[in-house]
Amino acid sequence: MGRWPEKLQEVIDDFSEALDQMERYEMLFELAEDIDELDHSEWTNKTRVVGCQSEAHIDIAFGGDGFHLRGSSDSQIIQGLMAVTAIALEGLTPEEVTGFSPNFASEMKVLETLTPNRANGFLNMFLRIQDEAREQLG
Amino acid sequence: MDLQSDMNKVRLEFPILERILPNGKPLIYLDNAATSQKPISVINAITDYYTNYNSNVHRAVHTLAGEATEAFELARKSVANWFGLPSGGMVLFTSGTTDALNLCALGWGKHNLKPGDAIVLTEMEHHSNIVPWQMLAKEYDLELRWVNVDSETYQLDMDDYKSKIIGAKLACIIHTSNVLGTRNPVERLVEIAHEVGAKVVLDCAQAAAHEKLDMKSLNADFLAVTSHKMCGPTGIGALLIASGIFEQMQPVQGGGDMITEVFKEYSIYQENEHKFEAGTPRIAEAIGWSAAISWMEGIDLIAAHKHTLSIARNASDGLKEISGIKVYGDHSNEDISGVVSFLHESLHAEDIAHMLDSMGIAVRTGHHCAQPLMRRLGISATNRASFYFYNTMDESKAFVNAVKTIVERFG
């Protein structure tokens, strides 16, 4: 058993077992399909993730069931990374989200193959989620 | 020996092209419009300088300084000869094309253009030939006029140019587009500008890699060039100025090497190229560039470009057959570089580039510092595969097959 939440660990294990990078991209494309998609009509400056070369937008909420992310991007790789983030944090409390490490992306062996801009874009997205979680804590 | 065999022989002189990437794939380098690879003779020339005669140039009297100065100034002569500098012209070393265009704007434009004067730019320009002029226009109240690009033919609208140039003082024109590969009819564009008394600066960053430029026959007033796209090192380029321009320019930077005497109240500047080259110059880079020119002198550039064009054309034709791909640029045209820009209707350009990279293929993605052109084409980015004479037809085919595989698997 890994140190990550069960569902995320399953994703990490799947990625670790991938034959090559192309298979990892294929998995990201599949995950991108499953995201709770933020419709393009809902894209605003507020939803935009800065630092991405591609258009990337997220909307997060902490309801009765904890953290939930809706997101979309014109890049399927980025949308796939959003989907993994959603799996990682789904249902967590704001406190748990602020303490969550973004290192799961490295363990999936996808981050190092991205351009620095894209890797930074992912980290920007993650930090922004944690900022919003901190705001929830007050 | 056929053209491909000749080019295969040339390819052997570029050690990096034998590189195996960390994922075990052999490198297929198709990002030559960003920077070319370097032949071993260029690498050796730079190593030789640092190993045997590294020294600052011009002022010291010791042996190393003498050798370095000689090699540095020889490099200037070699650049002048290669680019056919006209009599009375000068080679001002810069850090590259961008720096050369900024020097042109600040060293010449600032002192020769007055409020209300017009500068003609084309929609095909690289940002390096836009932003310095915008900055100047903002500060000195100059008018910027834009020449349209035809988004179907990928050519400049000549009628629009002829109309916009009337009354203008300067035309800033990209010789060969870094996005479309289009080689503009620069000889005619310069002629038209001169007929109405406008000066012309040509951005030759891409062109210098593919053809032997001759400033005399181009007849431009300024040529901005760079070393690193024509097999030389990064960090050096030049602004070539025609006869009579030097006297109209003022230095942009002050400091060592550009003065003859400094007093508390004022300084007296050098009256040669050094006036525009404050500080320790780019010595190793100049020597490397000179070695690149010597190397280029040994190859048949016309045959080399013919080869580049044939493999670029193969890629363009192959891409057009893949569902959902659009190619930007007319590769049936003879006047085109090795650039092949393309876009898939649904796959993001950067996703395609990442996948190509995982297959060992290096291409570029983005707006290529040509956002006005992107807007004219109605897009925000492209993938760009740019071929050079050391690339092979097999690489071109492998590239097309790779894109086909990606589109079939992910599109």
ipTM entry: 0.88
- Flag whether pLDDT at B134 surpasses 60: yes
Q: What is the pLDDT of residue A105?
A: 86
Asked if B350 and A26 come within 8 Å (Cβ–Cβ), the reply is no
Residue A63's DSSP bridge partners are A66
Q: Which residues pair with B129 in a beta bridge?
A: none
| Closest chain A C-alpha to B404 CA, distance in angstroms | 14
Instruction: List residues bridging with B183 in a β-sheet.
Output: B176
Task: Specify the pTM.
Answer: 0.93
Per-residue pLDDT, averaged over B18-38, amounts to: 96
Under the banding of pLDDT at 50, 70 and 90, the label for residue B155 is: very high
How far is the C-alpha of B40 from the C-alpha of B54, rounded, in Å? 19
Considering only CB atoms, which chain A residues are within 8 Å of B407?
none
Cβ partners under 8 Å of residue B402, min gap 6:
B355, B356, B359, B361
Q: State the smallest CA–CA distance between residue B178 and chain A in angstroms.
A: 20
CA distance B17 to chain A (A): 21
What's the burial of B362, exposed, middle or buried (CB within 10 Å: 0-12/13-18/19+)?
middle
| B349: pLDDT strictly greater than 50 | yes
Q: Is B345 on the interface with A (CB under 8 A)?
A: no
Q: How many CB atoms lie within 10 A of CB B89?
A: 21
Cβ of A75 and B351 within 8 Å? yes
Helices vs strands, H then E, count in chain B: 15, 15
CB contact under 8 Å between A75 and B357, yes or no, is no
- Taking a C-beta distance cutoff of 8 angstroms, is the pair B364, B384 a contact? yes
For the residues B254-281, what does the mean pLDDT come to?
95
Give residue ranges of A with CB < 8 Å to any B CB: 20-22, 25-26, 29, 53-54, 73-78, 113-115, 118
Q: Which of B6-15, B62-71, B166-175 is the least confident region?
A: B6-15
pLDDT band at residue B216 using 50, 70 and 90 as cut-offs: very high
| CATH architecture assignment, domain A6-137 | Alpha-Beta Complex (3.90)
What does DSSP assign to residue B182?
B
Helix (H, G, I), strand (E, B) or coil at B94: strand
pLDDT band at residue A111, thresholds of 50, 70 and 90? confident
The C-alpha angle B248, B249, B252, rounded to 5 degrees, equals: 165
- A120 pLDDT exceeds 90? no
CA distance B120 to B148: 11
Best CA proximity match to B219, nearest among B247, B242, B196: B242
pLDDT band at B21 (very low <50, low <70, confident <90, very high): very high
Please provide the average confidence, as pLDDT, over all residues in chain B.
96
Instruction: Give the nearest partner residue to A76 out of B348, B357, B359, using CB atoms.
Output: B348
Label residue B2 by pLDDT band (50, 70, 90).
low
Tell me the nearest-neighbour CA distance from B146 into chain A, angstroms. 27
Among candidates A73, A74, A114 on the partner chain, residue whose Cβ is nearest the Cβ of B354:
A114
A77 vs B351: CB contact, 8 Å cut-off?
Answer: yes
* Cβ contact B236:B94 at 8 Å: yes
- H/E stretch holding B260 reads strand B259-262
User: Is residue B69 helix, strand or coil?
Assistant: helix
Give the model's confidence band at B8: pLDDT under 50 very low, under 70 low, under 90 confident, else very high.
Answer: confident
**Quick one: tokens of B86?**
């006209």
Q: Are residues B350 and A115, on separate chains, in Cβ contact within 8 Å?
A: yes
From B116-120, B333-337, B398-402, the region with the lowest mean pLDDT: B333-337
Show the domains of chain B with their CATH numbers. 3-30+300-410 (3.90.1150.10), 43-297 (3.40.640.10)
pLDDT at B225: 98
Average pLDDT in the B209-227 region? 97
List, in sequence order, the alpha helices (H) in B126-235: 131-140, 158-164, 186-195, 207-210, 215-218
Nearest beta carbon to residue B348 from set A21, A74, A113: A74
- pLDDT of A1 reads 46
Q: How confident is the prediction for chain A on average, in pLDDT? A: 89
> Where is A68: in which H helix or E strand?
strand A66-73
Nearest residue of chain B to residue A75 (CA atoms): B348
> CB of B211 within 8 A of CB of B229?
no
Report whether pLDDT(B210) > 50: yes
Contact B354 A25 (CB under 8 A): yes
Question: Are B149 and B157 in contact, with CB atoms under 8 Å apart?
Answer: yes
Q: How far apart (Å, rounded) are the C-alpha atoms in residues B291 and B272? A: 24
Residue A2 has pLDDT above 70, yes or no: no
- Choice among A99-108, B25-34, B171-180 with the minimum mean pLDDT: A99-108
Among B350, B355, B359, the residue with its CB nearest the CB of A53 is B350
Residue A106 is predicted with a pLDDT of 84
Using alpha carbons, list the distances in angstroms from residue A10 to A5, A7, A72, A85: 9, 5, 22, 13
Say yes or no for a CB contact (<8 Å) between A26 and B23: no
**Residue among B348, B345, B336, B270 nearest B309 (CA):** B336
Residue B172 annotated to the active site: no
- Chain B contacts of A114, Cβ < 8 Å? 354
- Between B4-8, B83-87, B92-96, the lowest mean confidence (pLDDT) is in B4-8
Q: Mean pLDDT, to the nearest integer, of B42-53?
A: 98
Indicate the pLDDT class of residue B190, thresholds 50, 70 and 90: very high
Question: If DSSP codes are grouped into helix, strand and coil, which group holds residue B245?
Answer: coil
Q: Are A76 and B410 in contact (CB < 8 Å)? A: yes
Residue B202 in contact with residue B222, Cβ under 8 Å? yes
* Domain spans, chain A: 6-137
Q: How many angstroms away from the CA of B345 is the closest CA of chain A? A: 11
